[in-house]
Every structure is written in C-alpha cells, then in structure tokens.
Structure 1
C-alpha cells in the first residue's frame, strides 16, 4: 500500500460527517464498542490539554521516557506533512500499510453512520495503541477537553494542563473561565493533575475541578517551579532544587514546558525516570515548527548565510507573546533586525496576534496559505497587520515574499520569522525539511 492509498481513505472519512468539528462523545461510543473498546485496553495514559505548549510537553515526556528505556505511544494533532505523524507506536511513526489497514477496519466497522474525521481517526489510533505492546501512552486533546474525542479514557495515570488562553472561539467561546472548564474536563477522579503556568481565572477553575474530584493537583509556582540560571535551568519541587541543561527546543517558554514535563514524571506512579534520562531527553527532544531554525531547503538556499530563518506554527495571541519574548531575549545578547512572513487562518484572532509581534518586527509580507479553504486572503491579512502597527504588504506566494525581502535581508545579519499557522508550517517543512 502507498501513501496515496491512505490519503484516499482519509479523504473518504472526511466526507462521513458534514461538520469538521462537532464537540460531543455520542458518536464515539458505539464505534468503540464495535471494536471491543480499545480505549479500555491501553497502557497507562498521560492525558494533556491546554491552549499552548501541549505538543512541546508531549515531546519532552516522550524523549525523557524513551531515554529511561520505556516504549512510548504518542497521539498528537494536527500533523505537519503526513497524517501518520499523529500516531507513534512504541517510538516509531506508524507505517503506511498498518495505517491503511487500520483505517479500513474502522471504516468498515462504522459503516455509513455519521462520524467526524477526528473521531474516527482517533478511534483508529486507540486501536493501534491497544493492539501494539507499549509501556505508556501520551495523549493530546484535539480541541477543548471535556467533549474532545480523546476524552473517553476513564482512568488516566495522570493528566496535565498547559497554559490556557483564548483560541478556537467559534467552538469554545471567549470567556476564559468557560474555556478552562472545557479543558478541565480531562481531569479524572483520584488521578493526579499537573497544572502548568495559568492565568488566575483559569487556575481557579482548574483547582476547583481537581478538588471536587479528589484529584491531587500539583500547581506551578505553588508546588513546583522552574527558572533559567547561568548554566541551564533550575527545577524546584518536592525533591529540592535541581539544575538541568537548557532544552534543545528554542524559546524562553520552553523552560516552563520542560519543567511541566519534569513535574509530570515526579507524580507519575509506576515509572522511574532518572535525572540522567531527563538530561538526555532535554538534549534529544525534537518538535518541528516550534521555534525551529531552518537549515536546508530552497528558502535557506535563496538567502545569504547571515540570515537566520525561523519557523513557528504559533497562531494565537498567547503564542505570539512567547515568540516575541524569545526574540527579545536573543536581541539582548545578539541584536539583529527581524522580518516577518505570515499566513493565517480566518478562525484566529489575527490582529491580536500581530499586535504581540509588533515590537520585534521591522517589516514583512503576508501571504495566503495555499490550498486551505479557511486561509485569510493576503490582502486582508496585511490590512489587519497594519492595523496592529506592523509595516506589512501582501504577496502572492511565499517565494515572492522571500524574493521581495531578499535585498533587505542581504544588507546585514538578521532574522526572518515565518509564522501564523501550523498548516503553513507543514507546507514549508514539506519543501524545506
């Protein structure tokens, strides 16, 4: 079987339900029953929700647990280049033949009953995890938490909540307490929950939920903390202060993500992960399109060596805050002008995103993300960027944007940031990975 075959199956599955996202668990349960409840046959689960940092947290956990010798299953979304990236079995991305057979099995069991693409592919992932020997499953929510398709695991070993902010307003609303209530839906009775850095409003909701369920809560800046030090970063928790090397992932916010991972491992029963394994995981961790510096491909080759090309899939205001913090931090020791190429979906708070980036950007261009129905047209996006204080114009393509900026980028050492969407990042990695 070829990649084309699984793509055809996935396209067919996409047509089974008219809504791409429809938050309910009602369609999940009958199909899970037909497949002998794979969600009940999983290895111990760490279930993760939040607005930003979920993927980075899972990347750290995977790297650290694998360094300790465990066979780690991972479920993440969305994918960047190939759908198979979403399902990692005992350390390896699922192969094409297994993926195609799995999708066909689930499609046959479901028949013509309406079901969303994310629901049926999540069920397929659960079946793969149940049928493949593994020591632990790292499970990322798709959207929200309470009614997310992943939230059918009754007894996770541990849950974790990364920073919560506004995103997906069309599904979760704009009230931070309400968003936190949705995310808190993954917290389960008596299962420990690790809570990362939070706005006080969100934290209050998470704490009350944990208390009501008898779930031991381990809260950032109350029970554990982390901060940068001269020779790396320091984690402070029940076992005292320990210093680790800076993680391989770039960005000042990655210390908090790494600290959340360490907190999770401390409260995960039945697993032993030494400080040596944590250090190895920090050095080997990999999570594409998150403050990733490109080193190969047509974009890099088209520009002088003195241009640093950075790619980030951040697409909401909170992500833009972290991007800006990282560039400001770098400029303190290595000042360089930064230029921007942005593409975004029309479901995002685009003006607020640009407002957070305004302090670090000299100028740039907006493009329309190719082949994305929800992509904001470049001209409209540029208008919003200008309204947020950025000097931005529209260009018909990424190549045209790079070519137009090339004379400016060639003048002196500088940074080029490409950001605004994981969908855009995936397309760029496909061609420049």
Structure 2
C-alpha cells in the first residue's frame, strides 16, 4: 500500500492492506451497492474518458490528461497501480489528493462499505468517484483496473462517458480473465478482447487499435451489442511515426504532430489512441495545438523512464519499466538499443520468460531481486546465469564496472521501490 507520514492516512492504508486486491470472482453488484450508499457519485462525474487494455492504457491516460490540460481543462484522473504513494491514484483537478482529504475520504468510504466485503480496488474506485463528483472539473480520465467487462470502473454509463478506448491486448491476469465461463470465447486472445470490449456503451464511441482477426471480431460484436460506433486504427483513423513526428489522420483531416514525450516506438500507438479518443467526441474541445503540446509534455513514470542521478542510480544510465508480460517484453526489446544489464523482480504469478526471451540476445547480466511485499520468482527460473540479490541496493552494488546501461523491470511494484530509493517520488 505504500507508507504515509500522516498517521490518519496510515491508519486507512492499514485497513486497505487487510483487503484482497480484487475479489476472487469479479462482478459489479458489490461496488454498485457501495456507490449507492455513497449517493451514486459515478452518475455525477464530468464528461469521462474510459480506457482499457493489457498494455498501454496508463500511457494513453497520461497523453489524454496532458492534452486536455494543454487545452485549459480541469481534469480528474484515476489510474493504477500507484508507484510510491497511494495518493497517486487520485489526481483531482490536476493535483494529487492531499493527505488530510485522503484520510477523510477513505474513512467515509470504509464506513459506507460496512458488511459488504469490498476489495481494495472497489474501495479505491468508490473513493475516486466520490471525490471526483464533489470537485468541479471539465473532464475525467478513468483507467480500467483489470479486464473491463467486470471491472469496478465499469459502473460508468453512457450519460457521463464521452469516449471509450482499448489499447494493446495481450495475455495477463489469466486467473481472472481466462476463468472458465459459459458463452464466452474459447480462444485466449479472443477472450481477452471480449473482456476489454465489455466497457462499450450505447452511443459512446469505442476507439481502438488494430488487432488480429479473432480479437477484432469480438470487439466488433461488442460494439454491435452495445449499439455504438467502432472507431478502429487502420480503418476510421490512422497514426504512424517517422523521423518528423507522429502523423495522424481521420474523418476530420490530417495532423502532423510532434514525437510523443514518452520513449519507445510502442508509445506512438498509445499517443494515436489518445488523439483519436479526443477527436471522436464532441463535448470537450482540444485544438490541434493542444494535442501537440500534450504529446510533448506528457509524463508517465516507470515506462522506460531514465532515472535521474541519485542514491540508487548514481551517475549510471538506468532505465526503469514496469513491464511484466510478453507484450511488454517485445516492446522493450524494440525500444532498447545495444547491450544492457538486467535487474529484474517479477511476481510469481507472471511468466518469467515473457521478458527474458525478447531481451536475451542483448542482456550482459541478470540479477534477480525480491518484489517488496509480494511473492516473487526466485533467481533460478530466469536461467542458470541469473544471480539472486537481497534487494535493489545489493543488485546495484554488484553491477559490473562497464559502460552498459541498466534496465530495471518486471513489476510496477519494483519500479515504485526504485523510484523511492532514488528519491524520485511521482507528483
């Protein structure tokens, strides 16, 4: 949960830490009842962008926020997970929620949740929507937590939603998203697409990337069931990246935009998705100049972030990424040039090959560290050359004395620990 110097906040974090992250069986009944007790704040939000996806949904939210703020809008944002401080999940009109307000808010939501057996994420989303309904704003950006169809954020309906988006798809959270169920697709990737597309709502544009045939079919079916227009990359809109920048076109014309601020070729897709989500709705205005400025200024920590010189990184080139599945591994392999040293920590419910294999031909050394507060893979599952270290500080103390950069990856929880040790606290 992170730690807080404020005893009232810490008391609420201790309550949160006693809850399961997600309930064993996903569903919306409990969170709907909690929100009903709180006065249904989800029905009183500012015009809302809702973003799902296996990889890239957080980056898409970061681009949306930056472009909306460049246009002068007050924007609420809820994303997950947090990296260092739980407060990161609540950006209220552009600013992370302060400790005093957070303590009051969580106490209120916990009181309303008495007897419901809510999960960590249900409490968190109810708190976010409660605060967002009280503070005036021009727009909200909401990131799906897990899946889409049965995620706690999917209580949002067409009255508040103005654009739904789906970023890249991949296999992750198999226990929940591939659980046996009648009347769902059998193919794993088609099932993932089915779950993500469950956020589609009547009359709200569903804006997506392009996918394989099976995934596309499921998304098309979801749009038809919901009664909404599907806006897919490569059909209704197009985006491509070259040395000059990001080139975007759709029904309204052509935009020549700057390179996205977030590093990695995969960020072109996330940036394009954010532009398309804005361009395919009419309630919140953003001019081309605002889109350009937002792409240049977007910030999203722990996504191929180069650490500043500090207590952990020293003066060495250190890159930090929270990737933990094969899609992320392939994106990292495409983005990173040359050889590097790998410092990795991965939850034991993730596939260790997902990152090791795409990066194998350029990895000089592998050091494996625990993920603080979580059950993580041991060093031997990463291969015979992997060396176990006590923690990140121990791993950095044993880095070879050469000029190769370091990649710290495998978990966003580990990324948060790296930021904390290097004193780069997200704000």
State if a TM-score over 0.5 links the two structures: yes
Match of 2:396 in 1: 402
Structural mapping, 1:233-312, within 5 Å: 233-301=246-314, 305=315, 307-312=316-321
Alignment match of 1:135 (pick from 123, 138, 158): 138
Q: Which one of 16, 25, 29 corresponds to residue 28 of structure 2?
A: 25
Which range moves more in the overlay, 125-134 or 270-279? 270-279
Match in the other structure for 1:123: 126
User: Secondary structure of 1:218's partner?
Assistant: strand
CA distance in 1, matches of 2:286, 2:153: 26
- Give the 3-state SS of the residue equivalent to 1:210 in structure 2: helix
- The answer as to 2:205 corresponding to 1:192 is yes
Kept in 1: contact 2:49–2:164 (CA 8 A): yes
2:417 corresponding residue in structure 1: 427
Contact 1:87-1:93 within 8 A present in 2 as well: yes
Q: Which runs of 4+ in 1 moved over 6 A?
A: none
Between the aligned partners of 1:292 and 1:230, the Cα distance in structure 2 is 21
SS of 1:236's partner is strand
Residue in structure 2 matched with residue 221 of structure 1 by the alignment:
234
CA distance in 1, matches of 2:36, 2:279: 34
How far did residue 239 of structure 1 move?
Answer: 2.9
2:170 corresponds to 1:161: no
Measure, in 2, the Cα distance between the counterparts of 1:239 and 1:19.
41
Structure 2 residue aligned with 1:371: 373
Comparing 66-75 with 197-206, greater Cα deviation is found at 197-206
1:152 match: 155
1:316 is displaced (CA, Å) by: 0.6
Shift of 1:19: 6.0
Separation of aligned partners in 1, 2:21 and 2:327: 31
Separation in 2, partners of 1:16, 1:313: 23
Please state whether the residue corresponding to 1:23 is helix, strand or coil: coil
* Distance (whole Å) between structure 1 residues aligned to residue 269 and residue 65 of structure 2: 16
Question: CA offsets, 1:57-98, max 9 Å, x none?
Answer: 000000000000111010101100011100111111111111
For the residue of structure 1 that corresponds to 2:419, the secondary structure is helix
Tell me how far apart the structure 2 counterparts of residues 360 and 172 of structure 1 sit (CA, whole Å): 32
Look up the match of 2:191.
178
SS of the residue aligned with 2:153?
Answer: coil
Alpha-carbon contact 2:162-2:205 (below 8 Å) kept: yes
SS in 2 for 1:209: helix
**Under a length normalisation based on structure 1, what TM-score does the superposition of the two structures give?**
0.91
Question: CA 1:360–1:197 in 2, change beyond 3 Å: closer, same or farther?
Answer: farther
Residue 319 (1) aligns with residue 328 (2): yes
- Counterparts of 2:85 and 2:21, CA distance in 1: 23
Q: Deviations over 1:360-409 (max 9, x none)?
A: 3222211112332x2223x3xxx33227xxx42222222222222232x2
| Partner SS state of residue 295, structure 1 | coil
| 2:96 aligns with one of 93, 96, 107 | 93
Q: Which runs of 5+ in 1 are unaligned?
A: none
The answer (yes or no) to whether the contact 1:164–1:199 under 8 Å persists in 2 is no
In the superposition, the TM-score normalised over structure 2's length comes to: 0.92
Quote the Cα distance in structure 2 between the aligned partners of 1:128 and 1:5: 18
